[in-house]
Structure 1
Amino acid sequence: MFDITRETQEEIDNARDVENLKKVEAALFIAGKFLSAQELVALTDLNPILLNQALQALQEKYNDGSAVEVVNKGDLWKMDVKNEYMDIVNRLASGSEEFSKAEQETLAVIAHKNPITQSKIVQMRGNKSYDHIKKFLSLGLVKG
């Protein structure tokens, strides 16, 4: 039988923390609206203390180097595009150009993972994303 050392226990705890973070991140990303802490507890099956730790970690993660942020208003939480990038969102929302579901998903990946290389996008979304990126460049939604 194996002995669980302190280092092994720390690795297990870190893996759980990462998994908890991913659950909360996924819930906020897909919701597109404010969710209460109670709703997040129900969605992620995390206790309130672990949920709070994950939310704080996500705020730190998205604080710098991302076009996305985790917004907190009282007991409500939401993942949203930072104000300085709202012009892009507004152009997308009010433009006459329609996007396929695949194009919307590619654009969401770009916004979520920004900055990201074209090769990473293609690796994640497939060869069709070359066409998506070309379209986004022509519309001024992304920079090359």
Structure 2
Amino acid sequence: MDELARKVEAILFVSSEPVKSADISNALGVDVKIVEERFNNIKEHYKSHHGLTLINVAGGWQMATAGDLKDVIEEYNNSYGYKLRLSKAAMETLAIIAYKQPITRTEIEEIRGVRSDKVLETLLSTGLIKVAGRKKGTGSPLLYRTTQEFLEAFGINSLSELPTEEELKNEGNYS
């Protein structure tokens, strides 16, 4: 691994969020294409015989545990680690926001059929959703949308990677 790849790897290792190629390019003063080559080199380096891998998620690159070690990591997290736990109401609300964003509390409540103010507070506190402005019109209600943390928590690059309603229906997970 050359010196530039070592620097890129170090930045990835200390970053708690996915790192964009352009950000490393600016920080290190090198061309974006060269940084992307180093990402590929690092990814190749970690491809076998390592507990880590490099993934492209949420529009950037991030170090992660190797996929084949999923069971080991889950066992550890179940015994010792932090795990994001959301209630059924929170997951339902989060799904509505993910698919209908930006959306108001009233619109969420119309879909769910129950009040959602406490659930929204919980989701805001986890960082999975954020206030995305106000809807024009009477009362100017707050609009909610998912965050970068949402993408990271669910291991996706963009909302377009969410299953479609048709795919969910075919899986029998949605009615």
- For this structure pair, what is the TM-score category when the shorter chain's length is used for normalisation? 0.3 to 0.5
Q: Which has the higher helix share?
A: 1
TM-score of the superposition, structure 1-length normalised? 0.47
TM-score of the superposition, structure 2-length normalised? 0.40
Which protein has the larger Cα radius of gyration, Structure 1 or Structure 2? 2
